[in-house]
Amino acid sequence: DQQVKQNSPSLSVQEGRISILNCDYTNSMFDYFLWYKKYPAEGPTFLISISSIKDKNEDGRFTVFLNKSAKHLSLHIVPSQPGDSAVYFCAASPIIQGAQKLVFGQGTRLTINP
Amino acid sequence: DVKVTQSSRYLVKRTGEKVFLECVQDMDHENMFWYRQDPGLGLRLIYFSYDVKMKEKGDIPEGYSVSREKKERFSLILESASTNQTSMYLCASSLYRGRGGNTEAFFGQGTRLTVV
C-alpha cells in the first residue's frame, strides 16, 4: 500500500525552463511534507518542506505547493539548471508522538537538458 | 556541520553471513532510521528508534534487526544475508519532533550492499 506516490518515474526539462514534480498521498494523518534530492551513490539531501497549515513555501528557485483537499503536492524549480539533474523524492510525516517517521514516494528522475 | 556517517560505502557478503551496518550521528538527535532504496520502490523504512534501547519496526523489518546502545549509534543487522537483501542502505537521524517542531531527517552517504 503506497501511501506516497510519485507517478512520473522520469521528467526531462530544458535548461532555464520550469521543472514541476508531482506527488500524491493517501493518508490524511500526514501533516508535514518534504522534498529530497539524491545524486547517485550519495544519501538524499533535504531541499524544502511545508507544513499542512500552509499551502506554499518558497526557498530561492524552489517552491513547494500543497493542496490538502486533493492530497497533492508539487515542487517547482525555476529556472532549471544542469546541476538539478537528480532523483527527487517526496516524503510525508504523520501526526504521531515520538519519532518523526518519514514515508517516501518512489522518486522521479529529473534530467535538465542544455 | 551536521553529519551522519555510515561505516562502509560498499560491502560484498556471502549468502548466510551475518552482516552489521553501522551508523553514527554527531547532532545529538533522538531519532534514527534505517531505510533501503531499490529502483522503482523509493526509500522503504526498515526500523527506527526514538531513544536509546528503543526500536520500532518499519514497513519491511523481516530479515533485519537493530541495536541502539548509545544515542549516537544505530546498527542494522542482517541475521542471515540473502540475495534479495542486495540494496542501497541509508541511515538517517532527526530531532525528536516535540522538541523543536518539524525537522527534516539528515541522511548518511549510503552503503551499497551486494549479497552473492
Q: What is the DSSP string of B4-31?
A: EEES-SEEEE-TT--EEEEEEESS--SE
Quote the pLDDT of residue B97.
67
Among the partner residues A4, A36, A99, nearest to B48 by beta-carbon distance: A99
The reply to whether residue B110 touches residue A41, judged by beta carbons under 8 angstroms, is: yes
Residue B46 has pLDDT above 60, yes or no: yes
Cell numbers representing residue A46 in the block: 533535504
- Quick check: A108 contacting B, CB < 8 Å? no
What is d(CA B38, CA B24) in angstroms, rounded to the nearest whole number? Answer: 23
Q: Which whole number is the average pLDDT over B27-41? A: 92
Please give the single-letter amino acid code of residue A14.
Q
The residues, ordered by sequence, that sit 6+ positions from A76 with a Cβ below 8 Å of its Cβ are: A18, A19, A20, A62, A63, A64, A65
Quote the pLDDT of residue A2.
79
Given a contact cutoff of 8 angstroms between Cβ atoms, the answer to whether B25 and B92 are in contact is: no
Residues in chain B: 116
**pLDDT single digits (tens) B52-100:** 988 999 999 999 999 999 999 999 999 999 999 999 999 999 887 665 4
Residues in chain B whose Cβ is within 8 Å of chain A: 4, 9, 30-31, 33, 35, 40-45, 48-50, 56, 58, 90, 92, 94-98, 102-110, 112
Quote the pLDDT of residue A31.
87
**pLDDT single digits (tens) A3-14:** 999 999 999 999
Q: From the CB of residue B55, how many other CB atoms can be counted at a distance below 10 Å? A: 17
pLDDT band of residue B1 (cuts 50, 70, 90) is low
Contacts of B104 in chain A (CB under 8 A): 34, 46, 49
The reply to whether residue A99 touches residue B102, judged by beta carbons under 8 angstroms, is: no
Average of per-residue pLDDT values in chain B? 92
Quote the pLDDT of residue B98.
62
Q: Which whole number is the average pLDDT over A59-78? A: 97
Please give the single-letter amino acid code of residue A32.
Y
What are the strands, taking DSSP E only, across A26-79? 30-38, 45-51, 56-59, 62-67, 72-77
Quote the pLDDT of residue A101.
81
